[in-house]
Amino acid sequence: MTTPGSVAAVDLGATSGRVVVGHVDQSAGRLDLEQVARFPNGPVRLASGLHWDVTGLYRDLTHGLAEAFRLEPGISSIGVDSWAVDYGLLRGDRMLGEPFHYRDERNERAVAAVHAAVPPAELYRRNGLQFLPFNTLYQLTAERESGCLGLADTLLLVPDLIGFQLTGAKVAERTNASTTGLVGLATAEWDTELLERLGLEASLLPPLVPPGTVVGPLRPAVAAELGAPDGLDVVAVGSHDTASAVVAVPMRAESAAYISCGTWGLVGVELEAPVTSEAARAANFTNEGGVDGRVRFLHNVMGLWLLSESVRWWERDGSRIVLPELLDAAAAVDRPVTLFDANDPRFLAPGDLPGRIARWCAEYGVAAPRTRAEFARSIIESLAQAFADAVREASILSGVDVSTIHVVGGGALNELLCRRTADRAGIPVLAGPVEATAIGNVLVQARAQGFASGDLESLRALVARAFEPVRYEPRASRHGG
């Protein structure tokens, strides 16, 4: 039997963070979320490069948690999730500067050094990860070559870094650790041989813990600041935000694909065992850890970053673009628009993305969009095609016969993107829940606290009862696809 209760989820995304209070009563089929704080997040360019303002994030999230405890004094625990791969370095209890941002240019020069030590095919056999130039092992190689790594005695990924500030405990949650490239696929432990070959110290890396582990109680000073009870638990959730989001996908894993769509579009299927074939490596699919030992077999697509960064660029002159109006204009475009490669690495760094899209078009001899509406439509169509292609590849490589695509996260609100993904994939799309990451965070805590029980399918059944998805049937496609 379970009992009803409440938990607080801290969900940190690449453009914003939020604090959510989740109320769970599995016996009654109740799962309610209340957002109590939202705050911006984004890169800060310092003399040393592109960084995250983790200190500012910690200030904002603790203010949000204080509001959560004011509104709901009965909160039983706190869980933190964030984006993957980025980390802070500590010496003792002192953070050695703000963490680098994964889009910082320093990573590019480290790739060749890593591949000279360990060829890409061997890396894939060892860690099962797709090649992304910002994976933690490349970042750490850049850090080592700068001479700064020798000053540190501990590395903590961003959610674990926040957890340390809250509790004083230093751990590495497994789903996020699996994205570093430093966890062995066969052992599910830190790959000490790989670390040695890359010239990295295994002593930097804290003990691995699974989702649902109680990391520790709040430090007394933090509890007092938040207005929280002494001894309140901080629980390790699926601290990679995609791991939490996949928990909350109300799917039948044997016949569904998911797209966790926000800044990035993470497109894949859930498996019991990894796929490390040469075909999977060539397709740049990754095997990341999921909650309850599941495997997230997926491909990273550039995601709605393409649209949000284009809007940011257009707004440099002080004008304001209303996104729903831009998307309405994009939907009304009545001529075919160019599809570009949404995964081209030229679109990774911040800056003039519309200009880069136009240059891509010129390079490949196709017509560039002419208006902002056409740029937005081109981005949506290109993302929809990339999503459809990734779903097909995931199905072929994994053997999962995909009959439904679930879109969760902010992209679930983008009707044009969901509809065009269904059209281009020829498969129904079920959109929602939007706050899947926070929901997954809440559910893992709730299970640890006794407010929910059962396997992932039991938790997903609760999500399905609480959140009705929007269904998009594939149609005869306009503009090709």
SS (H, E, C) 86-128: CEEEEECCEECCCCECCCCCHHHHHHHHHHHHCCHHHHHHHHC
Distance separating alpha carbons of residues 81 and 241, to the nearest angstrom: 5
Indicate the residue type of 343. Answer: N
**DSSP, residue by residue, 164-226:** HHHHS---EEHHHHTTSS-B-TTTSSB-HHHHHHTT--GGGSPPEE-TT-EEEEPPHHHHHHH
**DSSP, residue by residue, 414-472:** -HHHHHHHHHHHTS-EEE--TTHHHHHHHHHHHHHHTS--S-HHHHHHHHHHH-PPEEE
DSSP assignment, residue 259? E
The residues assigned a catalytic role are 241
Closest C-alpha among 389, 177, 406 to residue 269 = 406
Distance separating alpha carbons of residues 251 and 77, to the nearest angstrom: 27
Helix axes 158-167, 54-71, angle to 10 degrees: 60
Residues in the chain: 481
**DSSP, residue by residue, 370-389:** -SHHHHHHHHHHHHHHHHHH
Indicate the residue type of 78. Answer: I
Distance separating alpha carbons of residues 120 and 368, to the nearest angstrom: 35
Is the Cα dihedral 232, 233, 234, 237 positive or negative? Answer: negative
Distance separating alpha carbons of residues 136 and 240, to the nearest angstrom: 13
Distance separating alpha carbons of residues 31 and 26, to the nearest angstrom: 8
Is the Cα dihedral 6, 12, 13, 19 positive or negative? Answer: positive
